[in-house]
Amino acid sequence: MRIVDLDPSDEAARRRCAELLVAGFREMSPGHWGEVSDGLEEIEECLDLGPVKVAIDDGTIAGWVGVRPSYAKVWELHPLVVDPALHRRGIGRALVDDICAVAASHGALTVTLGTDDEPGWTSLAGLDLYPDPIAQLAKIEDVRGHPFVFYLKCGFSVTGVTPDANGFGKPDIHMSKRVSGP
Ligand SMILES: CC(C)(COP(=O)(O)OP(=O)(O)OC[C@H]1O[C@@H](n2cnc3c(N)ncnc32)[C@H](O)[C@@H]1OP(=O)(O)O)[C@@H](O)C(=O)NCCC(=O)NCCS
């Protein structure tokens, strides 16, 4: 497996990335990238805003990740997806490590991201997080393989929450990782 830049002129590669978004987020965020055309729009935006890296496995794109500037010294990872048939083989971690190094090479101190809990895969699901969302967040637990655990394993820390981001009791969990020294 190797990680390379997505060639913006490679239409087939862009389509494969769009298909991965649709397949990869079907359970996690149903409706977010419902059609390949939605995925193609996302890739267009990612290529406009920052670097996009793809993991090539056996000659095929197995996953991809984008990153973009967000604050002066903070870049946002968005999105990340691995072919559902190839999960738990280290591809996601390799993409995260690569894109964090890319952000650091552009001067980022931190890479941040949001990981939604739309399907109810964490203990925050269905809760009214007010009046103290941080207290609720401090008790977060995985219920059904939510990717925040994957990001913890990649060295990210839970740094915040947006209550009701996707409807009542469907929060967005914020995570960050230091990628270069102060
Ligand atoms: C999240 C995702 C990118 C992980 O990719 P992956 O290639 O399967 O992850 P890796 O194999 O590199 O896993 C690295 C570590 O995280 C663990 N891990 C991966 N997914 C996990 C999950 N959902 N829950 C708990 N742990 C997980 C792995 O077991 C591995 O642990 P280890 O270091 O103890 O061996 C992939 O599941 C995916 O594309 N999901 C759908 C889209 C998505 O959720 N994207 C992120 C949302 S913002």
Which two structure tokens, joined as six digits, stand for 112? 């941040």
**Candidates 150, 172, 176: which one to mutate for ligand 1, based on the most atoms within 8 Å of Cβ?**
150
Residue 31 has pLDDT above 90, yes or no: no
Model pLDDT for residues 92-142, shown as the tens digit of each residue: 999 999 999 999 999 999 999 999 999 999 999 999 999 999 999 999 999
- Compute the distance between CA of residue 55 and CA of residue 81 in angstroms, rounded to an integer: 10
Contacts of 71 (CB under 8 A, 6+ apart): none
Residue 86 has pLDDT above 80, yes or no: yes
- Compute the distance between CA of residue 121 and CA of residue 109 in angstroms, rounded to an integer: 30
Which residues form ligand 1's pocket by a CB distance below 6 Å? 24-25, 28, 80-82, 87-93, 115, 145, 147, 149-150, 153
Model pLDDT for residues 148-174, shown as the tens digit of each residue: 999 999 999 999 999 999 999 999 999
- Compute the distance between CA of residue 78 and CA of residue 112 in angstroms, rounded to an integer: 9
Lowest pLDDT segment from 27-36, 37-46, 123-132, 170-179? 27-36
* Mean of pLDDT values over 52-57: 98
- The answer to whether the bond into 182 is cis (omega within 30° of 0) is no
